[in-house]
Amino acid sequence: MSAAARPAPVSPVVIHPLVVRVTHWLNAVAIVCLVMSGWKIYNASPLFGFSFPGWATLGGWLGGAIAWHLAAMWLLIANGLVYLAYGLAGRHFMRSFLPIGPREVWQDLKEALFFRLFHKLGAYNAVQRLLYVVVVLLVVAAAVSGFGLWKPVQFQGLVGLLGGYEFVRRIHFVAMAGIVGFTVIHLALVAIVPSTLWAMITGRARVEISAEEAAP
Amino acid sequence: MNPISNKVLAPELRRLKRRLLLRSGLSLGALTMLTGCNLTDGDAVDRALWAVSRFNDRVQAWLFDPNRLAPTYPASEITDPFPFNAYYPEDNAPEVDGDTWKLEVSGLVEDRTPWTLARLRAMPQASQITRHICIEGWSAVGEWSGVPFRSVLERIGADTRARYVGFKCADRYYSSIDMATALHPQTILATDFRGAPLPDKYGFPVKLRVPTKLGFKNPKHIVALFVTNEYPGGWWEDQGYNWFSGS
């Protein structure tokens, strides 16, 4: 039977390794807890002229919110370290996130905005790569500024470097806002391409195999 | 900045909150997360949160460097007016008579003689301009002067191998700190704020100034101190604020 007679070869392949899936979902839990409890903490002394609605917060009162925040912190750290170690040592970052060139980002962004960019399961376009790298850096920024706020005396070198306690509060807020902004876009894209959700759960997707990949 | 809004609470409410650290806070996201797990019982999650908080106490004690000083600031950076903060409104701040005031001393000490204000003022004094950081997030720079707490502990013959120093206050507030922090060079029994005796709102006649801890670990209007190995807790700590709360 000739290959031309068959439909395009399709095979379920693992596009998200187990480590990535587990750390993704643990991270999602940690981030949701941290953001919602963080909003409650913010409300105790709002930095800007608004408060977060109570229904969107976690902890019930300031003490409860801090208890959640400083518990979820450990989940974020432990899980984040596993993810970063895997990503750096296992070449996951290099394979999935690089290269990110301004030209590719601009090209893919234009196509995405006009809904001409097609999502290929298992491969990230340049905009995705950029967003994923940025959100990893935002989480690192939130964690580092968070350490500064938690221990402004013990980590006073860090706090001084970042502009002082009051400025670090703002860094922490901006990092949170960036993470929430990413999450909104991320969830919107998952809603547009729901198969990505299934892929992040099972790790598998039916990917069309290109000619050279199908070749023995 | 609204330092007192959520601090005026009836005692019953406090007890309830302590028990329901989590359950009262169940919201959309928490419900979503807990669906499908066995942790739908709020008390179980509460116990987990308390356990992590005790773990965080140990981590902070380990991170605490007894020789690292809190940053100090020039007088030009002092926050004016310095915010009032307590679990009650400013009008309710106790008015203590400095002439009859005594600082009771008890627990693992050799000399339990109560201290008068005059005796405290006769001790070698220290002054600091440091940042007071509230658990609510805001901060303010103030200038406090008084007796290094270490020298008081030495003078009363405190067992400095004990784990805790506890404080009781004229406003029924109470708190406690670890011995390492009690011996820190910047921990002082402050009698003055900006060069004048502490006003009532800032804790007349004596407050503990601990720049290596959050504001609520700086009790005001102190009337008694005790050295102990039994965990003394605190007004906020017993409700769920982390006990160590080091900066």
More confident residue, B41 or B68: B68
pLDDT of A119: 66
Q: Is the pLDDT of residue A9 over 90?
A: no
Token couple for A186: 């991320």
Interface ipTM = 0.83
Q: Are residues A112 and A65 in the same domain?
A: no
Inspect the interface and report whether the beta carbons of B52 and A71 lie closer than 8 Å.
yes
- Residue extents of the structural domains in chain B: 7-62, 71-239
What does the mean pLDDT of chain B come to?
Answer: 87
Inspect the interface and report whether the beta carbons of A166 and B134 lie closer than 8 Å.
no
Q: Are residues A200 and A169 in the same domain?
A: yes
Q: Are residues A210 and A115 in the same domain?
A: yes
Instruction: Report the distance separating Cα A132 and Cα B211, nearest Å.
Output: 39
Burial B109-144 (b: 16+ CB within 10 A, else e): beeeeebbbeebeebeebebbbbbbbbbbbbbbbbb
pLDDT band at A211 (very low <50, low <70, confident <90, very high): very low
Contacts of A48 in chain B (CB under 8 A): none
Residue A10 maps to a domain: no
pLDDT of A15: 80
* Chain A interface includes B68 (CB < 8 A): yes
How far apart are the CA of B17 and the nearest CA of chain A, in angstroms? Answer: 8
Residue A113 maps to a domain: yes
pLDDT of B170: 96
What does the mean pLDDT of chain A come to?
Answer: 85
What average pLDDT does the segment B85-108 reach? 94
Q: Are residues A120 and A193 in the same domain?
A: yes
Inspect the interface and report whether the beta carbons of A154 and B68 lie closer than 8 Å.
yes
Q: Where are the beta strands (DSSP E) in B118-233?
A: 126-133, 139-148, 164-169, 174-178, 188-193, 196-197, 207-209, 222-228
Token couple for A204: 């598998």
pLDDT of A213: 43
Q: Is the pLDDT of residue B211 over 60?
A: yes
Mutate to test the interface with A, among B136, B238, B245 (most CBs of A within 10 A): B136
Closest CA to B238 of B216, B215, B212, B220: B216
pLDDT band at B17 (very low <50, low <70, confident <90, very high): low
* Chain A interface includes B22 (CB < 8 A): yes
CB atoms within 10 A of CB B214: 20
Residue A1 maps to a domain: no
The verdict on whether omega for the bond into residue A17 sits within 30 degrees of 0, i.e. cis, is no
Number of independent structural domains in chain A: 2
Instruction: Report the distance separating Cα B208 and Cα B210, nearest Å.
Output: 6
pLDDT of A192: 85
pLDDT of B25: 47
Q: Are residues A112 and A159 in the same domain?
A: yes
* Chain A interface includes B16 (CB < 8 A): no
Closest CA to A152 of B141, B179, B237, B80: B141
Domain span holding position A33 = 18-44+51-90
Q: Is the pLDDT of residue B20 over 80?
A: no
Q: Is the pLDDT of residue A8 over 60?
A: no
Residue A82 maps to a domain: yes
What is the DSSP annotation of A25-69? HHHHHHHHHHHHHHHHHHHHS-SSS----GGG-SSSSHHHHHHHH
Q: Are residues A189 and A206 in the same domain?
A: yes
Region of poorest pLDDT, from A99-103, A109-113, B22-26, B166-170: B22-26
What average pLDDT does the segment B15-23 reach? 51
What average pLDDT does the segment A81-88 reach? 91
Q: Which residues contact A56 (CB under 8 A, 6 or more apart)?
A: A36, A39, B27, B28, B29
Mutate to test the interface with A, among B7, B8, B21, B60 (most CBs of A within 10 A): B21
Q: Are residues A142 and A204 in the same domain?
A: yes
Burial A173-212 (b: 16+ CB within 10 A, else e): bebbebbeebeeebeeeeeeeeebeebbeebbbebeeeee
Q: Are residues A99 and A72 in the same domain?
A: no
What average pLDDT does the segment B151-172 reach? 97
Q: Are residues A133 and A196 in the same domain?
A: yes
Q: Are residues A105 and A126 in the same domain?
A: yes
Q: Are residues A74 and A158 in the same domain?
A: no
Which of B17, B242, B247 is opposite residue A66, by nearest beta carbon? B242
Inspect the interface and report whether the beta carbons of A153 and B246 lie closer than 8 Å.
yes
Kindly give the interhelix angle for A165-192 and A126-150, rounded to the nearest 10 degrees: 150
Residue A4 maps to a domain: no
pLDDT of B188: 98
Q: Are residues A107 and A28 in the same domain?
A: no
Over pLDDT 90: what percentage of chain B? 80
Q: Is the pLDDT of residue A183 over 60?
A: yes
Q: Hey, CA dihedral for A165, A171, A173, A179, is it positive or negative?
A: negative
Residue A12 maps to a domain: no
* Domain B71-239 CATH superfamily: Oxidoreductase, molybdopterin-binding domain (3.90.420.10)
Query: pLDDT tens digits for A35-81?
Result: 999 999 999 999 999 999 999 999 999 999 999 999 999 999 999 99
Among all residues of chain B, which has the CA nearest to that of A155?
B247
Region of poorest pLDDT, from A145-154, B29-38, B204-213: B29-38
pLDDT of A103: 79
Instruction: Report the distance separating Cα A105 and Cα A120, nearest Å.
Output: 16
Residue A7 maps to a domain: no
Token couple for A185: 């876009």
Over pLDDT 70: what percentage of chain B? 83
How far apart are the CA of B80 and the nearest CA of chain A, in angstroms? Answer: 16
pLDDT band at A91 (very low <50, low <70, confident <90, very high): confident
Residue A2 maps to a domain: no
Q: Is the pLDDT of residue A86 over 60?
A: yes
Region of poorest pLDDT, from B1-5, B122-126, B143-147: B1-5
